[in-house]
Copies of this chain bind each other. A is one copy, B any other.
Amino acid sequence: MRILIIGGAGMVGRKLAERLAKDGHLGGKAISAMTLQDVVPAQVPAGAGFPVAIKTGDLSDPAEAGKLVADRPDVIFHLAAIVSGEAELDFDKGYRINLDGTRYLLEAVRQVGNKPRVVFTSSIAVFGAPFPDAIYDEFLTAPLTSYGTQKAIGELLLADYTRKGLLDGIGIRLPTICVRPGKPNKAASGFFSNIIREPLAGHEAVLPVSEDVRHWHASPRAAVGFLLHAATIDGAKVGPRRNLTMPGLSVTVGEQIAALRRVAGDKVVARIRREPDPMIVKIVDGWPRNFDARRATELGFRAESTFEEIIKIHIEDELGGRIA
């Protein structure tokens, strides 16, 4: 089985590649080769028992996708995207990568004709306020960002190419990934991870919103699990609605902090500094808070059920079990 990961240098792509290298197989079939593509060189995961090719390129170049799928990968993970903030600031760049790039990929796959499973990472940004209390599987996609628009279009294309038998697509709408490893970044959603990751590492973190803000989370480990399940699930069971809201955990910031206290104690929690930021408060106010991800759950996708679990996964996977 040949695997292609587009966006293989990103956080989720890297973790997915590491997991595939460790497993050596996917859906019961041995992996014979893997290609990791991104705009910067991805890392070869340690201990892979199969050849791993590292490629760099720009998916908005119409020729790029054709080169990537020429060796007929059996499973393609399409994780590459211009992120929300940048797609909002640079309208043309967002459409070029997130819409044109995705379309070039689907079209290149169609031309090769081997009908691979294509796993497309979509986003809860396809939904726009006002929302019901819990966003259900039949709720409309009315995005309020260009990024969400581009992801929603990618979903429609994926479903149509699948319906026409040109490829075998599954789109997954990821929750906010928490705890995101690495340095604090400027993403408006960054604080959801910062307030856990930084205190656990002995650093101060800034909380820019009130503790009653509710959001939708899953761990990086759960995200990799979603991708693997999406790669191997029986398409006939999914039916024509190929885009699925992934399960997650809806918690308030206060509940996040209470879980951190239970796992790591008052000393760690004391490293969170409250500093309200009206701009971030306003942005976050328009985000989805809770979902009823019934279809994905029935189809066997699994996320964490407590925030303690999410914190413990971070401590295990990123901190070698140690709290500062």
Contact = CB atoms under 8 A, between A and B. Distances in A.
A164 B139 contact: no
A146 B159 CA distance: 10
A153 interface: yes
A138 B141 contact: no
A149 B140 contact: no
Contacts of A240: 128, 142, 144
A258 interface: no
Contact of A156 (B132, B137, B143, B164): B143
Contact of A159 (B149, B159, B163): B149
A153 B119 CA distance: 20
Interface string A116-155: 0000000000001000100001111111101001001100
B164 A142 contact: no
A58 interface: no
Interface string A76-104: 00000000000000010000000000000
A141 B142 CA distance: 10
Contacts of A139: 138, 140
A160 interface: yes
Interface centre among A137, A142, A159, A164 (most CB of B within 10 A): A142
Nearest to A144: B240
The oligomer's copy count stands at: 2
A149 B156 contact: yes
A228 interface: no
Interface string A241-261: 100000000000000000000
A152 B160 CA distance: 11
A141 B141 contact: yes
Contacts of A137: 140
Contacts of A156: 141, 143, 149, 152-153, 156
Contact of A160 (B132, B138, B143, B160): B143
Contacts of A164: 91, 146
Contact of A146 (B128, B144, B160, B241): B160
Contacts of A141: 140-141, 156
A207 interface: no
A141 B243 CA distance: 11
Interface in A157-209: 157, 159-160, 163-164
Given A149-B160, A152-B156, A153-B156, 19 more contacts: A128-B240, A128-B241, A132-B138, A138-B139, A138-B140, A139-B140, A140-B140, A141-B141, A142-B159, A142-B240, A142-B241, A143-B159, A144-B163, A144-B240, A146-B160, A149-B156, A149-B159, A153-B153, A156-B156
In the complex, the 4 A-B pairs of residues with the closest C-beta atoms, listed nearest first:
A149-B160, A142-B241, A138-B140, A149-B156
